[in-house]
Structure 1
Amino acid sequence: MTAPTHLAGDLPIRVGRGVAWLDQHHPGWHDLVNLRELDMDDSCGCVLGQVIGDFWAAPLTWAEAVSHGFQARNGEEFDAEVEVLDRLWRDVIEERLDAADQAAPLWPPERPS
């Protein structure tokens, strides 16, 4: 299924809010997410589910979860939003993991000549 193009403007903003929230409340959260298991339509496989243990255990209201990109809006476009949210969260996590890999020191450290 291909997501409607109008979703592209709203969802990255929502995911950005979610990233900021996770950075504040769960530093290093991206290391806890297994991308093979990521499923934004599963309360244990979604980003919050993997970071906190279960989507429903998060200290957020439903409206906050939606506005932070942790949950799709109910309605006709629910499945399309889930698809886009899944892709956006994967992109953020992969970017963070790649940046961490590039910043990691070489081991064993190089010795000065």
Structure 2
Amino acid sequence: MTAPTMTTSELQERVDRGVAWLDSRIPNWWRTDRPDHGDNGGPINLDELVMSHNCYCVLGQLIGNYYRADLTIDQAVAYGFDASVGAYYRGTDTVEVGEAMADEFDALRELWIRVIEQRRAGVDVP
């Protein structure tokens, strides 16, 4: 089985949709001075951002757990919160799928960090 791969521009489009989704629901979601609500979320710690972990991904850090977001798996993928490979090939035990999923999560992490750092620096991003 060949695992699908996405281009950086395709991943960026997904992250941009996720940014717009967050902007419409959680004002100032990117700020470091957001209140910390413990298990119910708080500010995003970029050093602890792990896109493949339900508590340390963007949504997990903001609202306490990825699964608390009112999103379908298709929406989570479309908004750059989940890897498409992981969403559609979980349970498929091949090295290729595992590597593709890890690569996609790594790329999504870097794109989210870039957006968050730009926001925190006062740079307007779409």
Q: What are the residue-to-residue correspondences of 1:26-105 with 2, within 5 Å?
A: 26-31=26-31, 32-73=43-84, 74=86, 75=89, 76=97, 77-99=100-122
* TM-score normalised per structure 2: 0.72
> Aligned partners of 2:6, 2:73: CA distance in 1, in Å?
22
After superposition, the CA RMSD in angstroms is: 1.5
> Aligned partners of 2:79, 2:6: CA distance in 1, in Å?
18
Unmatched 5+ residue regions in structure 2? 32-42, 90-96
Q: What are the residue-to-residue correspondences of 1:17-28 with 2, within 5 Å?
A: 17-28=17-28
Q: Summarize deviations over 1:7-52 as a string: whole Å, max 9, x none.
A: 2121000000000000000011112211111110110000000111
- The size of the alignment, in residue pairs, is 96
Post-superposition offset of 1:58: 0.4
Secondary structure of 1:27 counterpart: coil
Identity, in percent, stands at 44
* 2:7 counterpart residue number: 7
Indicate the structure (1 or 2) with the bigger Cα radius of gyration: 1
Contact 1:66 1:72 in 2 (8 A): yes
Detail structure 1 runs of 4+ shifted over 6 Å in the superposition.
none
Secondary structure of 1:99 counterpart: coil
Unmatched 5+ residue regions in structure 1? 101-113
